[in-house]
């Protein structure tokens, strides 16, 4: 059986070493030494001044919306994971969807301004599959209309544009360190803010709004993460390069073998680096995509329609809305298996099957 993804697991002894420390300190959570160490290592690795290690990528988004005190309407993409939209609704704001660009699969910046009203307070865009949004165009629009910008960077760990971390863009960027993501801590997330005052507010929000044991300065939540998750993050930290290299090798091999497949990959940001988080393909037709999906399933090879359906016409708590590009792409897109344990032989088999199914 070949699943679409498999979490990376380091050698168990390396994780156990951290557990011994946790047992001897008896410090299990509340920003213990492992969580602090992970924050230091990650900010150095990513080239950031500060970042916060939090519960997960969803809470990271909710904290971001809260910290910027957003109200009213937030412009966002219908082509993302549900948490991008649900966080907006959860924080009492209204998501206003804007269609995506057919090449990058990110929010179409040429269509944002038409959706801005006097109630709009922010843009929340996803770097889909780790492909950077047009951050320059978004910043321009945001400045012109005095809007805040949040990037859902759940897929974008390690991505840079012009030698700078993608997480430096926007007022706040978030990342997910969930087990199925590229680099993970089991459950976990990151929040990055440009303005030190916003970062400070986020740090209070993460810890119930406490400023000292008997003093509150903000409306907060429990956004902390545990020493056990930090230990997983630290253990995996030493494998970031080898995870990247293996995923690149598999991706290059897919690219080479699938040259004649009637499917396209997203067009990457010109200055953006790749992190090989996913292997998405937009097939020529939904029929071909479904044939491929079913055909692979017959060989116990599992793919995923990621993202399908569009968030703008599926959520029971929102009015349904159709979008030309998103609805079309969502019906034809599929992600192929990609994880560190996958072998070149397995990729070869997947590619041979896909080409055979196409030619039948």
Ligand X SMILES: *Cc1c(COP(=O)(O)O)cnc(C)c1O
Residue 109 found at the interface with ligand X (CB under 6 A): no
Strand, helix or coil at 118?
coil
Residue 230 or 288 with smaller CB distance to ligand X: 230
Cβ-closest position to ligand X: 57
Residue 226 found at the interface with ligand X (CB under 6 A): no
Distance of alpha carbon 87 from alpha carbon 346, whole angstroms: 37
**Least distance from C-beta 142 to ligand X, angstroms?**
20
**Least distance from C-beta 60 to ligand X, angstroms?**
7
Residue 86 found at the interface with ligand X (CB under 6 A): no
Residues 115-154 that bind ligand X (CB under 6 A): 126, 152, 154
Question: How many other CB atoms sit within 10 Å of the CB of residue 255?
Answer: 12
Give the interface segment with ligand X, choosing from 52-60, 67-75, 236-244, 263-271 (CB under 6 A). Answer: 52-60
Residue 311 found at the interface with ligand X (CB under 6 A): no
Residue 42 found at the interface with ligand X (CB under 6 A): no
Residue 128 or 261 with smaller CB distance to ligand X: 128
Q: Which of 62, 176, 251, 331 binds ligand X (CB under 6 A)?
A: 176
Please count the residues of the chain: 360
Classify each residue of 39-75 as buried b or exposed e, where b means 16 or more C-beta atoms within 10 Å of its C-beta.
beebbeebebeebbbbbbbbbbbbbbbbbbebeebbb
Residue 77 found at the interface with ligand X (CB under 6 A): no
**Least distance from C-beta 27 to ligand X, angstroms?**
24
Distance of alpha carbon 7 from alpha carbon 4, whole angstroms: 10
Strand, helix or coil at 324?
helix
Q: H or E segment at 37?
A: helix 33-46
Instruction: Give me the helices (H) in 196-285, please.
Output: 196-206, 227-237, 240-257
Residue 57 found at the interface with ligand X (CB under 6 A): yes
Closest to 340 (Cα-Cα) out of 253, 246, 215: 246
Residue 46 or 354 with smaller CB distance to ligand X: 46
**Least distance from C-beta 194 to ligand X, angstroms?**
20
Residue 83 found at the interface with ligand X (CB under 6 A): yes
Judged on CB neighbours under 10 Å (0-12, 13-18, 19+), 108 is buried
Residue 80 found at the interface with ligand X (CB under 6 A): yes
**Least distance from C-beta 148 to ligand X, angstroms?**
18
Contact of 265 with 280, CB cutoff 8 Å: yes
Residue 261 or 311 with smaller CB distance to ligand X: 311
Residue 226 or 358 with smaller CB distance to ligand X: 226
Q: H or E segment at 190?
A: strand 189-193
Q: Which residues bind ligand X (CB under 6 A)?
A: 56-58, 80-81, 83-84, 126, 152, 154-155, 176, 178, 189
């Amino acid at each position: 059986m070949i699943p679409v993804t498999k979490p990376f697991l380091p050698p168990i002894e390396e994780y156990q070493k951290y557990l011994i420390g946790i047992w001897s300190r008896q410090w299990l959570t509340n920003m213990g030494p492992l969580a602090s160490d992970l924050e230091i290592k990650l900010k150095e690795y990513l080239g950031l001044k500060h970042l916060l290690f939090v519960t997960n990528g969803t809470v990271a988004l909710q904290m971001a919306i809260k910290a910027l005190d957003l109200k009213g309407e937030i412009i966002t993409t219908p082509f993302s994971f549900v948490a991008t939209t649900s966080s907006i609704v959860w924080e009492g704001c209204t998501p206003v969807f804007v269609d995506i660009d057919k090449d990058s699969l990110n929010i179409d910046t040429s269509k944002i301004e038409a959706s801005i009203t006097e109630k709009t307070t922010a843009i929340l865009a996803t770097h889909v599959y780790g492909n950077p949004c047009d951050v320059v165009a978004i910043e321009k629009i945001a400045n012109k209309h005095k809007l805040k910008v949040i990037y859902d960077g759940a897929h974008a760990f390690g991505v840079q544009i012009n030698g700078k971390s993608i997480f430096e863009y926007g007022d706040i960027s978030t990342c997910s360190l969930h087990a199925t993501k590229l680099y993970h801590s089991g459950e976990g997330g990151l929040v990055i803010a440009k303005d030190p005052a916003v970062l400070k507010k986020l740090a209070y929000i993460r810890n119930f709004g406490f400023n000292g044991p008997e003093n509150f300065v903000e409306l907060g939540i429990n956004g902390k993460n545990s020493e056990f998750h930090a230990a997983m993050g630290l253990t995996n930290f030493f494998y970031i390069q080898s995870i990247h290299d293996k995923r690149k090798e598999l991706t290059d091999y897919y690219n080479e073998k699938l040259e004649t497949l009637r499917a396209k990959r997203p067009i990457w940001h010109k200055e953006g680096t790749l992190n090989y988080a996913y292997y998405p393909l937009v097939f020529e037709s939904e029929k071909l995509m479904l044939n491929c999906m079913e055909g692979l399933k017959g060989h116990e090879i599992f793919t995923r329609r990621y993202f399908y359906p569009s968030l703008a016409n599926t959520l029971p708590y929102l009015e349904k809305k159709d979008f030309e590009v998103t609805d079309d792409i969502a019906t034809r897109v599929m992600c192929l298996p990609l994880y560190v344990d996958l072998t070149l032989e397995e990729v070869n088999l997947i590619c041979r099957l896909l080409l055979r199914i196409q030619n039948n």
